[in-house]
Amino acid sequence: MRLMVSGGGTGGHIYPALAVINELKRQDPDAEVLYVGSHRGIESKIVPDLGIPFEAMTIQGFKRSLSLENFKTLYLFLKSVHQAKKLVREFKPDVVLGTGGYVSGAVLYAAAKQHIPTVIHEQNSVVGMTNKFLSRYVDRIAINFEAARAQFPTEKVVMTGNPRAQEVANVESHFSLTSFGLKDGIPTLMVVGGSQGALKLNQVMVAALPQLAQRQYQVVFVTGPKRYDDVMAKVAGLESADNISIQAYVNNMPEVLPKVAAVVGRSGATTLAELTALGVPSILIPSPYVTADHQTKNAMSLVSQQAAVMVKESDLTSETLLKAIDELMTDDAKRQSMAAAAKRMGKPHAATEMLDLLRDVVAAH
């Protein structure tokens, strides 16, 4: 297979694409892949570092308000479509996969207009603007949440789950909590506000740490690299508590997650794919700063199945967080029930299902 992939801007768009590429290479080492991203997106560093052929385009998103900047955006989009058509002619893909972000809009549109088989993947429960635009042109639409189905042409939609889940589910973890200065075999909570941390969550955790240091369970508090020094300056003395570990960043999350009893975190699509793939109970604090409040809707998909509890950021205080944590970490039966519910929602074969869908679209053309 010759696969062209486009997705960028956030890890939520990139990691599902990489999971599909990795599974394709596992099944067919001779497969050819070309990843098309943007110059400014994090994919421009992540993808080439993995040895995957990469082409970059200059593109930006539309402003939601009236703005002269939108004329530049339209110009860059049309220029990118022209560039994408050239890349399609040169690479001659069997199929093109888009996983979201502005750059995928130009690439998938260009491919569809050249009658190349096309598939998009929507990670969230609320459909992104780019995928909404592309839905009328592509052959098939893969979704991760049932809530997204009604927002697309129904006849095109296929439930695959998030391909990232398969990568996480297949990790054989030998991680030890002693790497964090903690003990193995003791129920451990991980608190993490995303790759960059979350300011409000960090502030609340700093206030809650003196009480958490007195609990029988352990806590790994991941601040985000840019916020670590500020947090450490505010918790002087608490770093010596033998049940608390404060980390700036965790770069091997798929290996660490199987070793924790529960997670406090955001409800981005990648996070939820990882939690459900592994069956990890969670306290979800949706980010209020995302388009159409989609993280709340993502979280509700787990809450409705008793796989997670949710605390809105507007209700987040050290008291509300401590209450939610204590209720979960001191109740083994509740954690086991939530873990089983999360596991039932997991999609451990999502990358394989995505590849099957891509092959079906190629065969149908």
Annotated binding residue at 295?
A: yes
Annotated binding residue at 124?
A: yes
* Ramachandran category for residue 352: left, alpha or beta (phi over 0 → left; psi -120 to 50 → alpha): alpha
DSSP per-residue codes, 233-255? HHSTTGGG-TTEEEES--S-HHH
**Rounded CA separation 162/143 (Å):** 8
**Rounded CA separation 266/197 (Å):** 10
CB of 272 closer than 8 Å to CB of 303: no
Q: Which tokens is 190 given?
A: 């991980």
**Rounded CA separation 72/84 (Å):** 18
> DSSP character for 64?
S
CB of 250 closer than 8 Å to CB of 256: yes
Annotated binding residue at 12?
A: yes
Annotated binding residue at 185?
A: no
CB of 267 closer than 8 Å to CB of 196: no
**Rounded CA separation 118/154 (Å):** 16
CB of 13 closer than 8 Å to CB of 100: yes
Handedness of CA 69, 75, 79, 85 (dihedral sign): positive
**Rounded CA separation 346/365 (Å):** 31
**Rounded CA separation 276/348 (Å):** 9
Neighbour count for residue 356 (Cβ, 10 Å): 13
CB of 128 closer than 8 Å to CB of 298: no
Annotated binding residue at 9?
A: no
User: Nearest to residue 133, comparing CAs of 108, 115, 97?
Assistant: 108
CA-angle at 37, arms to 15 and 92, nearest 5°: 105
CB hemisphere CA count around 70 (13 angstroms): 6
Residues of each annotated binding site for UDP-N-acetyl-alpha-D-glucosamine: 10-12, 124, 195, 295
User: Per the annotation, where are the binding residues?
Assistant: 10-12, 124, 195, 295
